[in-house]
Amino acid sequence: MTVDAVIVGSGPGGATAADVLTAAGWSVTIVEKGRNHLLDPDDPTKPAFDYSNDEIKFVNRHFLGPDPLVEPRTFRTHEDDGERTFVGEVNSVPTTVGGGGTHADGKVPRFQPDDFRLLSLLGPQPDADVADWPVDYDELEPYYAEVERAIGVAGTAGANPFAGPRSGPFPMPSGAPMFGATISAAAAERLGYHPYPAPTAANSVPYDGRPACNNCGFCAYFGCPIHAKGDPIAMLMRAMATGRAELLSETFVPRVRFEGSRATGVDVIGPDGVERFIGARYVIVAAGAIETPRLLLLSGVEHPLVGRYLMTHFQTIAAGSMPFRTYGERGRAVTHLHDDMIVGDDASRAAAAAAGLPWIRGGLVEHGGGGLPIMEAKHLPWGEYHPSLMADSPIRGHIWAFIMQGEDLPYPGNRVDLDPTVKDARGFPVARITYRPGRHELVASEHYAPRLEAILSEMGADWTAGTSSPGKGNASSPEAIPESRHNMGTVRMGTDPATSVVDAYGRMHQADNVVIADSSVFVTSTGYGPTLTLATLAARAAHHLV
């Protein structure tokens, strides 16, 4: 049997492709190596109700996978470190039906028009291969609008002065602002910044048969117990409802099969451990920017850039202790953002010049609170003072924080390849991440960190502190591993087969019935979360096929 398309990965990219292709009448098989806790196993056009407000299950016990004991990755900062310095959990997004969409708190900003042409606008950077994208904002805008409707995005058009033009309003109005965010947004405004309600893929009103978010607060890192988050369950349910989609969970793809310059399908290993072949006219790979290049390398794809230019976001974190309760445990984890630190100003241009760099860019700044009680307890000491400290709740109760998702430049040495010895439980080589920030990221972080702390002081903080991820310590410390899960850029898109692996529609130059439909194709990382844009590119790629 041959299907029209086999889709590897059921996250936002694969789900979007499945939605578009099945709507056009294609038969698709979606292969997902993780478990299905998202769709009702008896009727996959309906949701399952396995998610819950349970910190142990989601934060401490890998409910959404991957479990690093059976699906580890390895890490080093540079090849000078040796084969690896760490084995375990590295940059993991969930391995589960729904992929990274299940655990995200659903902030889905668009990129700005300028993000697609940094080389033309700003020029090159030393050591990095900054390039323009082969698509621009205007080409993507209709697909941005389509994906926003598909997943259900709540937002306020016009609130962000740096946003690109929109062809229409957001599908829903913004949801309730978090208490702390109302104060941090006001403080940021007083200092001349431009905070705005975060475009969020969580329903503010009932939408598409799913209920409005009820602000439970277990949002980032958690699956939504009531499915008010639409990404990507909305697309998966719609694809399943056509009757033309098949979902194989707990099924691993060890290789894409090729005959000459065409893919013929994929080999799969199901939960029974038996390997078989699924023939397909098209192979769509949407396994994420780490597992996608791993699969291409396991399949023997030969292109020197497969796995190169891995980007995460360089996170600059500022925390302030407020003399009032911040109520960070109520609401959608983050309800406000500001983009001023992406755009830059005279001060950032002076900082770049002083460091001998042509330019620096920071990233989106998320306004958020302090977390849940197990996390807080682990950060506080044990012993005599523990109970009173927990009752006072210096972190959960009183911290307000900013995370700047700093733009991370594409360096050829930052990459994914196959670890020479470490294997997963199925016996296949795991992905090895080689990553360290460049001077651009460090200079931008140093420049913006005190400015973030100044906003917290303006809020009335008793004290403020700053840090970053990766940390600035030595290469073998755990802090060298980035906390960011915004993995991007390992199967670069472009027009020239010598400097890119896929074309502007995600098709591999060397096998044009293989389409990459995830953030692997990103040319630059921008300062924005990748989800909406990767789903938008997947929608555009799928429309181009049908």
Binding stretches for another protein (CB under 8 A) = 35, 49-57, 60-63, 67, 69-70, 72, 87, 175-179, 182, 213-218, 225-226, 250, 271, 325, 327, 329-331, 373-374, 376-378, 382-384, 386-388, 390-391, 393, 396-397, 422-425, 427
Residue 274: which residues within 8 A CB-CB, separation 6 or more?
none
Q: Give least dist CB 66 to another protein, A.
A: 9
Residue 265: which residues within 8 A CB-CB, separation 6 or more?
2, 6, 256, 257, 277, 278, 279, 280, 283
- Which residue's CB is nearer to another protein, number 173 or number 412? 173
Q: Give least dist CB 266 to another protein, A.
A: 19
- Which residue's CB is nearer to another protein, number 99 or number 134? 99
- Which residue's CB is nearer to another protein, number 56 or number 498? 56
If you search the block for the tokens 């620096």, which residue do you land on?
360
Q: Give least dist CB 287 to another protein, A.
A: 17
- Which residue's CB is nearer to another protein, number 74 or number 519? 74
- Which residue's CB is nearer to another protein, number 103 or number 540? 103
Q: Give least dist CB 536 to another protein, A.
A: 30
Q: Which two tokens stand for residue 111?
A: 């990129």
- Which residue's CB is nearer to another protein, number 175 or number 470? 175
Q: Give least dist CB 368 to another protein, A.
A: 13
Closest to 83 measured CA to CA, from 371, 384, 345, 417: 417
Q: Give least dist CB 46 to another protein, A.
A: 14
What is the rounded radius of gyration, in angstroms, for the C-alpha atoms of the chain? 22
3-class SS letters over 430-499: EEEEECCCCHHHHHHHHHHHHHHHHHHHHHCCCEEEEEEECCCCCCCCHHHCCCCCCCECCCCECCCCCC
Instruction: Report which DSSP code applies to 427.
Output: S
Neighbours of 53 (CB within 10 A): 12
| Alpha-carbon span 446 to 66, nearest angstrom | 33
- Which residue's CB is nearer to another protein, number 134 or number 331? 331
222 phi/psi in degrees, rounded to 5: -115, 145
- Which residue's CB is nearer to another protein, number 211 or number 243? 211
- Which residue's CB is nearer to another protein, number 177 or number 358? 177
Q: Give least dist CB 359 to another protein, A.
A: 38
Asked whether the bond before 232 is cis by omega within 30 degrees of 0, the reply is yes
Q: Give least dist CB 54 to another protein, A.
A: 5
- Which residue's CB is nearer to another protein, number 62 or number 451? 62
| Alpha-carbon span 349 to 189, nearest angstrom | 21
Closest to 7 measured CA to CA, from 290, 278, 289: 278
Q: Give least dist CB 417 to another protein, A.
A: 17
- Which residue's CB is nearer to another protein, number 273 or number 356? 273
| Alpha-carbon span 15 to 489, nearest angstrom | 20
Taking every pair of Cα atoms in the chain, the longest distance, rounded to a whole number of angstroms, is: 69
Instruction: Give, rounded to a whole angstrom, the gap between the first and last alpha carbons of the chain.
Output: 20
- The b-or-e profile of 337-361 (16+ CB within 10 A means b, else e) is bbbbbbbbeeebeebbeeeebebbb
Q: Give least dist CB 76 to another protein, A.
A: 16
Strand, coil or helix: what is 18?
helix
Q: Give least dist CB 537 to another protein, A.
A: 31
Strand, coil or helix: what is 35?
strand
